[in-house]
């Protein structure tokens, strides 16, 4: 019995997202449950980066999965599932935020530069003003909320979530070149805004 259960789990893990969604389209709830189990942690974390509230993030994530199930017939199994799902989640979160008219972010964006992690605040933080003080004064939040939505989304997906540029492009429905240019602009604008805040 244990061997059969282990074999079933191994089989489920071997099935692709796209195959599971084909089963969901036929009304297979177990396949949908497998989709939820695969993506619930990543989805919850992504939603939290936008709303900075675990209860709201859980509700939004659950709503997104409901949308996946109710819109399953719209999914094209020839396309990868992951970007399709994250597009649903991001759009739902943004609609939620537009209704609340409030956006909060959970951390400072970091990036890998030649294998070494650097911080967007580098050059603006000294011994007299540690990062904790800057965060407590919400300087980063103040700068982020001034970014255009498209650039803010790229920063969250690429820098916070660490998604590949191709996947970010699929989620946001734009080209990889657009992702790169928006990311470049967003980082440059963030440095400018932070410099302005610190020089006030």
- What percent of the chain has a predicted confidence (pLDDT) above 70? 70
CA nearest neighbour of 50 among 121, 118, 111, 102? 102
Residues 169 and 135 in one domain: yes
Please tell me the pTM assigned to this model. Answer: 0.62
Query: Which residue matches tokens 């440059």?
Result: 188
Q: What is the DSSP letter of 124?
A: T
Is 90 exceeded by the pLDDT of residue 51?
no
Residues 17 and 80 in one domain: yes
> Structurally, how many domains does the chain consist of?
2
Residues 79 and 137 in one domain: no
- What are the tokens at 122? 């580098």
Q: How confident is the model at residue 138 (pLDDT cuts 50, 70, 90)?
A: low
The answer to the question of residue 58 being in a domain is yes
Q: Which residues have a Cβ under 8 Å from the Cβ of 104 and sit 6 or more positions away? A: 51, 52, 53, 141
Helix 17-25 / helix 29-51 crossing angle, nearest 10 deg: 120
CATH of the domain at 19: 1.10.1740.10
Alpha-carbon distance of 33 to 25, in angstroms, equals 13
Q: What is the pLDDT of residue 107?
A: 39
Q: Which domain holds residue 186?
A: 110-198
- What are the tokens at 131? 């990062």
Residues 12 and 43 in one domain: yes
Residues 130 and 80 in one domain: no
The answer to the question of residue 105 being in a domain is no
CATH of the domain at 141: 1.10.10.10
Residues 70 and 8 in one domain: yes
Q: How confident is the model at residue 109 (pLDDT cuts 50, 70, 90)?
A: very low
Q: How confident is the model at residue 175 (pLDDT cuts 50, 70, 90)?
A: very high
């Amino acid at each position: 019995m244990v061997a059969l259960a282990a074999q079933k789990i191994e089989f489920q893990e071997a099935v692709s997202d796209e195959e599971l969604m084909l089963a969901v389209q036929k009304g297979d709830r177990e396949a949908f449950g497998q989709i939820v189990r695969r993506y619930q942690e990543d989805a919850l974390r992504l939603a939290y980066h936008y709303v900075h509230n675990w209860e709201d993030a859980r509700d939004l994530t659950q709503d997104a999965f409901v949308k996946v199930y109710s819109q399953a017939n719209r999914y094209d199994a020839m396309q990868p599932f992951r970007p399709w799902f994250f597009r649903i989640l991001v759009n739902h979160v943004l609609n939620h935020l537009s209704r609340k008219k409030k956006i909060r972010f959970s951390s400072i964006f970091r990036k890998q530069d030649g294998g070494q992690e650097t911080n967007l605040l580098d050059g603006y933080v000294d011994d007299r003003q540690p990062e904790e003080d800057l965060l407590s004064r919400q300087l980063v939040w103040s700068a982020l909320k001034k970014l255009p939505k498209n650039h803010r989304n790229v920063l969250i997906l690429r820098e916070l979530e660490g998604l590949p540029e191709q996947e970010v492009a699929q989620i946001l429905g734009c080209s990889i070149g657009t992702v790169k240019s928006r990311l470049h602009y967003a980082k440059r604008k963030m440095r400018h805004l932070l410099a302005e805040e610190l020089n006030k």
